[in-house]
Amino acid sequence: MVRITAEEFQSRRGEILTAATRVFARRGCAQATMQDVAAEAGLSVGAIYRYYPSKDDLVQAVFENISDSTRALFAR
């Protein structure tokens, strides 16, 4: 098994989060699948599950990211 650095791990999580945000925006959270997210991110479904153990975890991360971005905009 290949070891990755913490920075690589966080970068990949961010790439998945970006892909999931696009997929959820297009399809809606309920209709989107982890397969859709994997295809958008150019990864396998198994790789997605290494970073986000469930779809619910991924949905929560997307909404937290959107919330953080919105708060930052208002703070400016």
Write the DSSP symbol of residue 43. Answer: S
pLDDT digits (tens, 9 = 90+) for 8-58: 999 999 999 999 999 999 999 999 999 999 999 999 999 999 999 999 999
pTM of the complete model:
0.87
DSSP string over 8-37: HHHHHHHHHHHHHHHHHHHH-TTT--HHHH
CA-CA distance, 20 to 16, in Å (whole number)? 6
